[in-house]
Chain A
Amino acid sequence: DAKTTQPPSMDCAEGRAANLPCNHSTISGNEYVYWYRQIHSQGPQYIIHGLKNNETNEMASLIITEDRKSSTLILPHATLRDTAVYYCIVRVVDDMRFGAGTRLTVKP
């Protein structure tokens, strides 16, 4: 009963923006959209989250469509260290289930 759909893999050139899409067509009004990433052999790392409005922090930007059925994580200037599996999660407080994620490979 996955709540999100992400492409299994994407490539991005170093220095370019990486745009990672996520579909969450069954999202409820009180569910937030969260993004995490997992670099090989490490625990997942929180990136950003949002409810309705677009959000930006030092790592990334999150664009949520007006109907909230999809979102895009933007890494503005991807580096080789951004190569990781990126997970989009929709959740309320006590629900933290991961889907398959997108494996992003940043290439020189």
Chain B
Amino acid sequence: SAVISQKPSRDICQRGTSLTIQCQVDSQVTMMFWYRQQPGQSLTLIATANQGSEATYESGFVIDKFPISRPNLTFSTLTVSNMSPEDSSIYLCSAGQGNYGYTFGSGTRLTVV
């Protein structure tokens, strides 16, 4: 299965600024997903990112707030824009191929102050 390198692992950011999270996969994958996980909660899907097409966002998440890039089959970024304290959370990416089990990054712990 694919191995994912996600960075940064954590960051403390000022409100009103933006943070870009990167996910690098060690093999070519069709599907990549971005999630948010708040303390003590399950994972909430933000968007699905397929190479060569626009990301598909879940209800409650918009492109202006969470722009996603997927320039090739091994890399994706998620930007958290114009941050507020409510954006403090763990952000995770996942990648995989077909019906196989997907791999997750180790997460980015974001604190907005």
Query: Interface residues, chain A, CB within 8 Å of chain B?
Result: 32, 34, 36, 42-49, 85, 87, 93-94, 96-101
Asked if B60 lies at the interface with its beta carbon under 8 angstroms from chain A, I say no
Known: A94-B48, A96-B94, A99-B42. A43 touches B104 (CB 8 A): yes
Q: Is the CB of A45 within 8 A of B42?
A: no
Cα A49 to Cα B92 with chains together (Å): 21
* Residues on A with beta carbons closer than 8 Å to the beta carbon of B104: 43-45
A-B contact pairs, 22 of them (CB 8 A): A42-B106, A42-B107, A43-B6, A43-B94, A43-B107, A44-B92, A44-B104, A46-B101, A46-B102, A46-B103, A48-B101, A49-B99, A85-B42, A87-B42, A94-B48, A94-B50, A96-B31, A96-B102, A97-B45, A98-B43, A98-B45, A99-B42
- Which residue, of B35, B43, B48, has the highest number of chain A Cβ atoms within 10 A? B43
The size bracket of the interface on B is 20 to 34
Cα A48 to Cα B45 with chains together (Å): 21
Which residue of B is nearest A2, CB measured? B42
